[in-house]
């Protein structure tokens, strides 16, 4: 409303009201501003700093053969625990038992790894072999773990590429099938000088009659060791059997004349720098 349309009394009241509002508001604003400034200066109104991000603690992983893994099947599908157990053995884990989980256990994840307080690192290492596996601490003593394979299980991580062995990593039993006495000892001494680890030296316990140069017997895991040894024994025949581990047998035959010259032995491949395996302990 314009002042021109007001009476003199109304105009006076309007201006008086403006003076009162200014008198009350301006000091309040100044006082409030000063109070806020003082509060910020004292740190009272400073927002709290965000908590520091928790970082997992990375530590060397335990040796894969230093603890026992039990595998339990909670998928409802036959043979899954056995498949996982075979996969763990191929990855150098020690499997203690294979069984079905109790019917009351309903596991939707790919797997749940049960462990005790002392077995956290072991459980982390085992769980890393099954994508999506979770951990569950059940208070057990010791470092053994149980892998409960769940409905979501599909596969394990790929088996790492195997390195071709060097002679010091190959264990050889040397057996004689010839009519020459002491032949096994002679060959064993020569192989030992080249760095091979000699275990047994004797006549062939299988009592084979080997007319050729030699036979190299090996198992599923010993193929690379057998190939390395074959390079030192020209004409040796590879024979696969059902043994476990990487050890091999060298069975000397009547046609054997000696080891290959070192100049003719295939060179060893370059060995990459070993990587120390680790596990990451989760934030507590």
* Local confidence band at 151 (pLDDT 50, 70, 90 cut-offs): very high
CA atoms in the 13 A half-sphere facing the CB of 260: 16
Q: For residues 116 and 213, what is the distance between their CA atoms, to the nearest angstrom?
A: 55
* Local confidence band at 3 (pLDDT 50, 70, 90 cut-offs): low
Report the DSSP beta bridge partners of residue 194: none
Residue 163 has which token pair? 């390195």
Q: How many residues does the chain have?
A: 284
Confidence at residue 243, expressed as pLDDT on a 0 to 100 scale: 93
**Mean pLDDT for the stretch of residues 236-258:** 95
Does 51 score more than 90 pLDDT? no
Burial class (CB in 10 A: 0-12, 13-18, 19+), 192: middle
Confidence at residue 229, expressed as pLDDT on a 0 to 100 scale: 98
Residue carrying the six token digits 């070993």: 274
Pairing between strand 57-60 and 278-281? antiparallel
* Local confidence band at 177 (pLDDT 50, 70, 90 cut-offs): very high
Q: What is the pLDDT of residues 98-132, one digit of tens each?
A: 999 999 999 999 999 999 999 999 999 999 999 99
The secondary element (H helix, E strand) that includes residue 145 is strand 145-149
Give yes or no for a contact between 216 and 240, defined as CB atoms under 8 angstroms apart: no
Q: For residues 78 and 283, what is the distance between their CA atoms, to the nearest angstrom?
A: 37
* Local confidence band at 28 (pLDDT 50, 70, 90 cut-offs): very low
The secondary element (H helix, E strand) that includes residue 229 is helix 223-230
Q: For CA atoms 155, 157, 163, 165, give the dihedral sign.
A: negative
Q: For residues 190 and 195, what is the distance between their CA atoms, to the nearest angstrom?
A: 9
Q: What's CA 274's distance to the chain center, in Å?
A: 15
**Mean pLDDT over each residue of the chain, to the nearest integer:** 87
Give yes or no for a contact between 212 and 253, defined as CB atoms under 8 angstroms apart: yes
Confidence at residue 6, expressed as pLDDT on a 0 to 100 scale: 54
- State which of 47-51, 205-209, 228-232 shows the largest mean pLDDT: 228-232
Neighbours of 102 (CB within 10 A): 9
**Mean pLDDT for the stretch of residues 213-242:** 96
Confidence at residue 136, expressed as pLDDT on a 0 to 100 scale: 98
Instruction: Report the range of poorest mean pLDDT among 47-56, 64-73, 201-210.
Output: 47-56
Q: What is the pLDDT of residues 10-21, one digit of tens each?
A: 554 555 556 544
């Amino acid at each position: 409303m314009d002042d021109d349309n007001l009476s003199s009394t109304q105009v006076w009241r309007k201006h008086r009201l403006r003076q009162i509002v200014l008198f009350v508001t301006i000091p309040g604003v100044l006082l409030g501003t000063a109070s806020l400034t003082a509060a910020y200066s004292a740190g009272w109104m400073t927002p709290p700093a965000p908590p520091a991000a928790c970082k997992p603690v990375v530590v060397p992983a335990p040796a894969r053969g230093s603890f026992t893994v039990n595998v339990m099947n909670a998928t409802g599908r036959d043979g899954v625990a056995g498949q996982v157990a075979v996969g763990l053995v191929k990855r150098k884990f020690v499997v203690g038992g294979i069984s079905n989980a109790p019917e009351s256990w309903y596991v939707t994840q790919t797997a749940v790894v049960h462990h005790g307080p002392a077995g956290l690192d072991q459980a982390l290492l085992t769980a890393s072999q099954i994508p999506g596996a979770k951990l569950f601490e059940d208070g057990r003593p010791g470092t053994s773990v149980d892998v409960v394979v769940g409905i979501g299980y599909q596969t394990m991580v790929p088996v790492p590429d195997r390195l071709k062995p060097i002679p010091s990593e190959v264990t050889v039993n040397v057996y004689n099938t010839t009519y020459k006495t002491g032949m096994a000892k002679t060959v064993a001494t020569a192989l030992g000088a080249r760095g091979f680890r000699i275990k047994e030296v004797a006549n062939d316990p299988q009592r084979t009659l080997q007319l050729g140069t030699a036979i190299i017997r090996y198992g599923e895991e010993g193929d690379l060791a057998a190939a390395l040894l074959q390079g030192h024994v020209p004409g040796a025949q590879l024979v696969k059997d059902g043994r476990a581990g990487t050890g091999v047998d060298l069975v000397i035959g009547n046609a054997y004349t000696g080891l290959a010259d070192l100049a003719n032995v295939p060179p060893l491949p370059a060995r990459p720098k070993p990587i120390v395996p680790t596990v990451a302990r989760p934030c507590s």
